[in-house]
Amino acid sequence: MADVAQELPGGQQFPPNTIDEAKRQRLLELVRGRAMARPTDLAEDEVMVWPSLVVVEAVCAVVFLLIITALSILVNGPLIDRANPNKTPNPSKAPWYFLNLQELLLHMNAGLAGVIVPTIALVAIAAIPYFDRSPLGVGILGTSAKGRKIIAFTVVYCVILLPAMIFFDELSGRTVFGIGRYLREQLGMPELIYNGILPAIVLVALIFIFVGIIKAIFRPTRRELFIALFTGFVATYVILTISGTAFRGEGQALAWPWDLLQIHH
């Protein structure tokens, strides 16, 4: 055995009698790879946070710092006359991000518009993940082509429906399209009914009709239905904010934005 030259891969040969039998080990296999896993081992789809993410954050921070600084140099924050409790401006308006509620307040009972509706909206938004649990579509903006169609449809639907509703309720003297006035004047019902329960029924009915339309047109999955509802919320929030900010003048009557400029500072 010791006399026979040993053949190695690649055709090389050990000369005989040069291997110490006592120390001899068998080579089983050669494996290409790292000795052990290290924390910096990167998978194919991974990058190092430094620099790949940190640089994005740094650039964003610098860009927005410059934008805010430039804006602050060019435009001063408003500071009008000293507060005077005896002089009520007309119209008096809440901060702009609450003007959606103030707009809603014109059309129904204050408790309903100012507290109950926003509370239900926030709780409903917080509860979304406990009702929509399927992991399908995670990480894809709008989930699917159908999801994006639903977003577009919902936005168009709200942009047409909500201003029309605001306008027609205004025409009826903000009495829930005249139904409220009928309940009050003809049937002598209390404020809670014609200004609270009636608009609440209208709101719930509107949501159910909307869901019905979405289901009939799109046959959505649960995720896609939630996309419709959430988009409806966002569109409503934005439209009511714009209406309350730019289209409400003296006595909260509907007005054109350019007519408000004289009042607003």
Partner 1 sequence: MRREQTLADRISGSALWRSVVRHGYPDTQRNQALIIASNVFLHIHPVKIKRYATKVTYTFCLGGLSFFLFLLLTGTGVLLMFYYVPSTDLAYQSMKDIQASVTFGQLMRNMHRWSAQGMVIAVFLHMCRVFYTGSYKPPREFNWVIGVILLVVTFLLSFTGYLLPWDQLSLWAITVGTEIGGSAPFVGSQVNMLLRGDYEIGQNALVRFYTLHVIFLPLAAAFLMAVHFWRIRKDGGISGPL
Q: Which helix H or strand E contains 6, and what residues bound it?
A: strand 6-7
**Span between the terminal Cα atoms of the chain, in Å:** 104
51 contacts partner 1 (rule: CB under 8 A):
yes
CA 176 and chain centroid, separation: 30
Which among 92, 21, 101 has a CA at the least distance from the CA of 251?
Answer: 92
33 contacts partner 1 (rule: CB under 8 A):
no
Query: Which of 14, 64, 167, 256 touches partner 1 by CB under 8 A?
Result: 64
- Calculate the alpha carbon distances from 198 to 184, 203, 208 in Å: 11, 9, 15
Name which of 138 and 187 has its Cβ closer to partner 1: 138
Residue with tokens 């080579």: 27
- Least CB distance to partner 1 at residue 59 (A): 9
Tell me the angle at which helices 222-246 and 117-131 cross, rounded to the nearest 10 degrees: 160
How many CB atoms within 10 Å of residue 134? 9
188 contacts partner 1 (rule: CB under 8 A):
no
- Least CB distance to partner 1 at residue 100 (A): 11
- Least CB distance to partner 1 at residue 164 (A): 25
Instruction: Measure the CA dihedral 138/140/142/146, to 10°.
Output: -100
Which among 46, 234, 74 has a CA at the least distance from the CA of 151?
Answer: 234
Query: Which of 1, 31, 36, 79 touches partner 1 by CB under 8 A?
Result: 79
Query: Which of 5, 49, 156, 253 touches partner 1 by CB under 8 A?
Result: 49
Query: Which of 6, 13, 69, 172 touches partner 1 by CB under 8 A?
Result: 69
Q: Which of residues 196-225 bind partner 1 (CB under 8 A)?
A: 223
The C-alpha atoms of residue 123 and residue 118 are separated, in whole angstroms, by: 9
Angle CA(219)–CA(220)–CA(222) in degrees, nearest 5? 140
- Least CB distance to partner 1 at residue 58 (A): 10
For residue 91, say if its preceding peptide bond is cis, omega within 30 degrees of 0. Answer: yes
Name which of 33 and 95 has its Cβ closer to partner 1: 95
Q: In this structure, are residues 217 and 206 in contact, taking their beta carbons and an 8 Å threshold? A: no
* Alpha-helical runs (H) found in 132-175: 145-171
Q: Which of residues 106-165 bind partner 1 (CB under 8 A)?
A: 109-111, 113-116, 122, 125-126, 128-130, 132-143, 151
85 contacts partner 1 (rule: CB under 8 A):
yes
88 contacts partner 1 (rule: CB under 8 A):
yes
- Region from 4-12, 61-69, 175-183, 207-215 binding partner 1, contact rule CB under 8 A: 61-69
Name which of 124 and 171 has its Cβ closer to partner 1: 124
- Least CB distance to partner 1 at residue 14 (A): 39
254 contacts partner 1 (rule: CB under 8 A):
no
Query: Which of 101, 162, 203, 239 touches partner 1 by CB under 8 A?
Result: 101
Q: Site size for partner 1, by CB under 8 A?
A: 78
186 contacts partner 1 (rule: CB under 8 A):
no
